[in-house]
A and B are shown apart, each in its own frame.
Chain A
Amino acid sequence: MADTSSARAQILGGIRKALGSAEGSDEARKRLAVHPRNLVPARAQLPQDQQVDLFVAMATEVAATVERLPALGDVPRAVAEYLAGLNLPAEIRVAPDAALDAIPWNERPTLTVSKGRARDSDGASVTGAFAGVAETGSLMLLSGAERPTTLNFLPDTHIVVLTRSQVVGTMEDAWDRLRGLGVAGTMPRTVNFITGPSRTGDIEMRIELGAHGPRRLHILLVED
């Protein structure tokens, strides 16, 4: 690999010369350590049940579909009916996520279930989520050994199981939860905020769904 250390020295040197300081700033180092919030819009600063309603409204606005379920036990039926309603094959690729282990897939034997990262042939995936962000109706998904990112992008249909308590107000709230995991300073390789299905306006400014990523984003919002 090419040595870029002289470029590094010259770029940083040039910046310091222009700024008139070679010390770096304590103010900056403090900001990194404290990570203060900026202005956070009032929209999503609500009691949690209203945040859930806002999440549903915002997600629906961006062409995601949301179904509310009483319990994880209802997921297999909901998935099967959702796929059948669209005349899609009853086959799903599921994230090998411990959080989804409680889903009784075997109660729905007509549903073909496999687990792992997405393959090109997979038509529908089922994943969990880390959070739902009410302000924008976004889902927040983290990569990890049990959560391959390809499931979020390769299949035509992405079904996400989100529990009610996972809904937070804002992106800042979600960062707080992530920091609370105790993996301080270490982000997962990929953090996806997904707001509705894939879309493009690149041909004559007409918005069409399903450009490269999923055409359909279906959210199963489960009580917990």
Chain B
Amino acid sequence: MAEKHPAPRVGLFVTCLVDLFRPTVGFAAVKLLEDAGCTVEVPSAQTCCGQPAFNSGDRRTAQELARNTIAAFEGFDYVVVPSGSCGGQIKKHYPELLADDPAWAARAQRLSARTYELVSFLADVLGMTDTGARYDGTVTYHDSCSGLRELGVKEQPRRLLASVEGLTLNELPGAEVCCGFGGTFCVKYPDVSNRMVEAKTADIQGTQADTLLAGDMGCLLNMAGKLKREGSAIRVRHVAEVLAGVTDTPPIGEKA
């Protein structure tokens, strides 16, 4: 498509957790998008999508942060997010949050229509089939809840992972069951959250995979933190790192 049309202008919404904990994911996303013929920009006016406030019942703050994000991302052909959770917030919840705000409702709708989770954007919008990447290992994949149920991210990562040379995917039983992160949930109800992530890591260990992948940093920090606490050698990475072949940084929770 790059030959016929001008390169699509993509705004990358980095997400807080990638910005703070795992810049590697951001660069992997940029590489994947640029390799596919996009021009990528990262507006510096972006901060947080507002989901923590939204899910804590603070609708007003959520609305303010939504307006901030909308303003920061106007004018792009697409807005791409390496997270189903933040992507879902923008795509599904912004229009609902600002529905009664005459100055912003239409702008929220417009942003929603142009916003995509990274992997589904690559597969569904750009029609990517082959990443040209290589990863030597047996991986398993956890479907993060928001990506799966709000945005329908299910087959796309599997399709793209299948094109990665050297990679074997062992399906994770209960891949669609929540890992117990849930934002503030995991610190508000640590015992319940622990039971959930414990069940998840047991399932992960059962797959015999050497690498765990997922598309959301929250879930990844949670599962990596638990695996490391349990002394597991399983490497944990964001799926974009493997798809982009950007695996020179240490896996999540491991030293350089």
- Establish whether A and B are touching in the complex (CB under 8 Å): no
- The interface of chain A, by Cβ under 8 A from chain B, is none
- The interface of chain B, by Cβ under 8 A from chain A, is none
